Amino acid sequence: MTVMKKFFSLLLAVALALPALANEGMWLPLLLNRNYAEMKEMGLQLTPEQLYSVNNSSLKDAIVSFGGFCTGEIISPNGLILTNHHCGYSAIQSHSTVENDYLTDGFWARSYGEEKSNDGLFVRFLVRMEDVSERVNTELTPEMTEAERDAKIAEISKQITEEATDGNEYEANVKSFYHGNEFYLFIYERYNDVRLVGAPPSSVGKFGGDTDNWMWPRHTGDFSLFRVYTAPDGSPADYSEENIPMTPKHYLPVSLDGVKEGDFTMIFGYPGSTDRYLSSYGVKQAIDKYNPTVVKIRDRKLEIMKKYMDRDHATRLAYASKYAQTSNYWKYYIGQTEQLRNNNVWAKKKVIEEDFQKWVNAKPARKDKYGETLTLLEEAYQESDNYVEGNVYVLEAGLLGSDLTLFAFRFERMMQAAFATREEMEEKMDAAEDDEQRQLVKEEYEGKVNAIMAGINETVEEHFEGYNRQMDQERFAALFQMYYDNVPQNQWPEFFNIVKDKYDGDFYEFAEEVYEDSFLTSKEGVMEYLEKPKEKTLKKDYAAMAGRQLYVIYRSGAEAHAGTDAKMERGYRLLTAGLREMNPDQNYSPDANSTMRMTYGTVGSYYPRDGVFYDYYTTAEGILQKEDPDDMEFVVPDQMINLIEQGDYGRYANSEGELPVCFISNNDITGGNSGSPVINAKGELIGCAFDGNWEAMSGDIFFEKKLQRTISVDARYIMFVIDKYAGAQNLVDEIKLVNSNNEPMVDSKDMPREAKEVMN
């Protein structure tokens, strides 16, 4: 392409980008008829039944909830799952050793027999969803307290789910929408045999690391591959060598057409949580108190972890997943706080609330119904301001601060169950009338105790695998010291007073004694204790004491602040209902709550700030521009460098000879959508979503129409890595590759040299 042609292409891209506004809304597939006309106008070529159907194969049947924390999609007739590298990170880590470091080197199964099973990993397919709002709401009255209302909702929801799962193996739950104004039933089929199939090295799948996280432009191949297995008859089953690859109801063909500015895109997935109805009071609390507290604690936690991970390869492998999880939302809260300020979200919320209050005051009936709304929210946040930071410390620095604290709590809880079961057995044996009855009691309860002990042993093995005691001791000391120094004494756990009196408030000195004396700080100590377990020993142990007391604070906080929580719950229910009544022509989408949603939009460039323009896609050239062999986040494998330098992209190059790596669209996603398929107007996979953009990180609270972007790995880069980089021909053959005209897919090596040139 000549320079002049490129110039006009750029002008066209800019012109198309100007009016492109992000499309707010994470929509329930059941209700897509409300949006279908707009989707059709934007380019969708499928019918509503092809998107969501209970009786026939549809797109929803190719989408899975991956482990309950991410999304995946079926991309072959043999149950192959595509998701993000960071979603599969923990599974990849679990199979990695110093000798076989799959995190660093990647992993590719060349046959079914090489695919690796993953304990505890599951996927769920949505069978159907149903609006049960009328059934629930008819049982609720305005006179009910929030506690009474919650209890009644739980009671009815239990009845509904029991009816839905009677006589089948499905799972079901009823979820609240619009802050308790509507209710929907979701029925799922769960599969527990999910095996690792392929993963690029972290230098591809995590390229850019924390530096590039939440940023555009991006050059990250954030994908991994798994497979669902079933029993020989096709039914869900736990892992067995007899299991076979799943035959799905629907799978997504992979398009090699790529994307261009303005192309229609839709994303199916399981977004975790948004807070779009958050009040101005909530925004202020997030900026001033909640977010900075999380960031401050995680700053210190990450600093300590990185110090020890950099020293030792085995520790780096063992803690890689924990570090990544901690780091991801550490940067998220930094970005959200910054953009809440930059995008002036508090002021935008105030405008909405002022308009709402004017509307309420306009009619006596509205004042009767909604008059207390904003007062309830203001009072609730004034009250919660006093303890919100303490709540963060309980979790972030307490229960989740060091590995020891949470392990000690879990261990003691399981041991208490074992002690209680033994005690019950002894009582029943004493009451037995003869030896035969005593033997039956003994057999019954020994089985129960053995099951509990097996669970304890499993927990112990998991906890101490790769455990770095020295690192954990420093985290224990440093994070509890922060807790002690920053939280009022009336919100301390009781053992803090022991540290205050006995150790002059020095948690480093306290930690030395705990890690020296507690049997819970070593596997040998725990196993020795289990030979002759005593309740008294466990009760006196400082580590067990810390876990127990922190959990009590965590649970008792809900009881202590029940009145405040009730005000907040009622305030948001009224605000949400009132806004929808005030604007009847506006199609409000419900907040994300880990249920299946569909969002639609278009591919689009944007202006992040004055004088700066971001194009809608990146290419492999950018990988070499970022490459830095001295920075672990930007190391590029030699093989990848060679392929890019040679322009050896195969059929995955675009018409200009470039290898697209990532692209952006204005779809509405959030955490939980990681791994979601980006689908074109014909129902074909064009990418895998993995991130949002920095400038719109306030988007979970207030959707930024001009800025909000979803960052996705281009399907062509995914296939390039599988094919040209990994040489996994077995996987290439399994995936259905399509293009718009069924034309031969030209290999980039056969293109004229000038077609490969990239404008500097």
Decide if pLDDT at 599 tops 70: yes
Decide if pLDDT at 751 tops 60: no
pLDDT-based confidence at 742, cuts 50/70/90? Answer: low
**What is the tens place of the pLDDT at every residue in 228-246?**
999 999 999 999 999 999 9
| Cα–Cα distance measured from residue 562 to residue 570, given in angstroms and rounded to the nearest whole number | 12
Q: What is the mean pLDDT of residues 69-90?
A: 98
In SS3 terms, 368-424 reads as HHHCCHHHHHHHHHHHHCCCHHHHHHHHHHHHCCCHHHHHHHHHHHHHHHHHHHHHH
Q: What is the mean pLDDT of residues 264-286?
A: 98
CB within 8 Å of 367: residues ≥ 6 apart: 360, 361
Decide if pLDDT at 424 tops 90: no
Decide if pLDDT at 8 tops 70: no
User: Which token pair is 119?
Assistant: 């304990």
What percent of the chain shows pLDDT beyond 90?
89
The average confidence (pLDDT) of the chain is 93
**What is the tens place of the pLDDT at every residue in 531-563?**
999 999 999 999 999 999 999 999 988 888 999
Decide if pLDDT at 101 tops 70: yes
**What is the tens place of the pLDDT at every residue in 354-393?**
999 999 999 999 999 999 999 999 999 999 999 999 999 9
Q: What is the mean pLDDT of residues 584-601?
A: 96
Q: In the prediction, which pLDDT does 428 show?
A: 84
Q: What is the mean pLDDT of residues 222-231?
A: 98
What residues act catalytically? 86, 222, 674
| Cα–Cα distance measured from residue 104 to residue 101, given in angstroms and rounded to the nearest whole number | 6
Decide if pLDDT at 680 tops 50: yes
Phi, psi of 700 (to 5 degrees): -65, -20
Q: In the prediction, which pLDDT does 741 show?
A: 61
Q: Name the amino acid, one letter, at 36.
A: Y
507, exposed or middle or buried, with CB in 10 Å at 0-12, 13-18, 19+?
buried
Q: In the prediction, which pLDDT does 431 show?
A: 84
Q: What is the mean pLDDT of residues 678-706?
A: 97
Number of alpha carbons in the 13 Å side-chain half-sphere of residue 442: 7
pLDDT-based confidence at 450, cuts 50/70/90? Answer: confident
443, exposed or middle or buried, with CB in 10 Å at 0-12, 13-18, 19+?
exposed
Q: In the prediction, which pLDDT does 22 show?
A: 56
pLDDT-based confidence at 426, cuts 50/70/90? Answer: confident
Q: In the prediction, which pLDDT does 359 show?
A: 98
Confirm if 662 and 618 have CB atoms less than 8 A apart. Answer: yes
What percent of the chain shows pLDDT beyond 70?
94
Which of 392, 405, 417, 411 lies closest to 547, judged by CA? Answer: 405
**What is the tens place of the pLDDT at every residue in 645-668?**
999 999 999 999 999 999 999 999
Q: Name the amino acid, one letter, at 373.
A: T
Q: What is the mean pLDDT of residues 451-459?
A: 92
Decide if pLDDT at 352 tops 50: yes
Q: Name the amino acid, one letter, at 19.
A: P
Query: How many C-beta neighbours within 10 Å does residue 536 have?
Result: 7
Rg (CA), the chain: 28
Phi, psi of 21 (to 5 degrees): -115, 140
- CA 585 centroid distance within chain: 32
What pTM does this model have? 0.91
Phi, psi of 214 (to 5 degrees): 70, 15
**What is the tens place of the pLDDT at every residue in 485-521?**
999 999 999 999 999 999 999 999 999 999 999 999 9
| Cα–Cα distance measured from residue 653 to residue 756, given in angstroms and rounded to the nearest whole number | 9
Decide if pLDDT at 703 tops 90: yes
Decide if pLDDT at 10 tops 70: no
| Cα–Cα distance measured from residue 198 to residue 694, given in angstroms and rounded to the nearest whole number | 29
Q: What domains lie within the chain, and their CATH numbers?
A: 3-122+192-276+589-756 (2.40.10.120), 124-191 (no CATH), 280-387+561-582 (no CATH), 392-560 (no CATH)
